[in-house]
Amino acid sequence: MDLKKYIRDIPDFPQKGILFRDITPLLADKDAFKYAVKAIAEHFKDKGIEKVAGIEARGFIIGAPVAAELGVGFVPIRKPGKLPFEVVRKEYQLEYGMSILEVHKDAVKKGEKVLMIDDLLATGGTAHAASELIEQLGGDIVGWGFVIVLKGLKGAEKLKKYDIFSLIDFD
């Protein structure tokens, strides 16, 4: 299935000079959405995954059904102040500012195999920070699944020690 036709380009969002790749048309199409979830799960199905971790918010939308497809639990990685239990946190640099991610300190057990999910890989700052959080908890990251990778921004270089799978690559 050609998923590129379900991606909408939005110039100057969230700020001038950024071209936002919007996956909401893909999510709205039942066949495209189902295909995306199944394709990511299929790529990682024989890796012994015990948890899927998704980054707020679009990583939740993709990651939770991937976890269900694989028959494993889901771990939300959230923005500050959104999780009700004790957390570990990571501050990191975005391409247009600073941000923070948090995860419950008991979300992953030492040695658990974790698949990481987000909608898009750009410069890799968010994905790298999320990886550090899961590894801080003792998780063993099996790989990263993305709907889109923006190759020209070289985010994959920050994740080179992981298996990176994407459904769509843009230069």
The predicted pLDDT at position 96 comes to: 67
Q: Percent of the chain beyond pLDDT 70?
A: 99
The Cα–Cα gap between 149 and 82 comes to 27
Question: In this structure, what is the dihedral angle of CA atoms 12, 14, 20, 22, given to the nearest 10 degrees?
Answer: -130
Q: How confident is the model at residue 108 (pLDDT cuts 50, 70, 90)?
A: very high
* Active-site annotation holds for 95: yes
Q: Which of 56, 58, 102, 112 is catalytic?
A: 58
Q: Which of 21, 69, 89, 95 is catalytic?
A: 95
Architecture of domain 3-170: 3-Layer(aba) Sandwich (3.40)
Parse the chain into domains and list their residue ranges: 3-170
Question: What's this model's pTM, rounded to 2 decimal places?
Answer: 0.96
* Active-site annotation holds for 58: yes
The Cα–Cα gap between 37 and 163 comes to 17
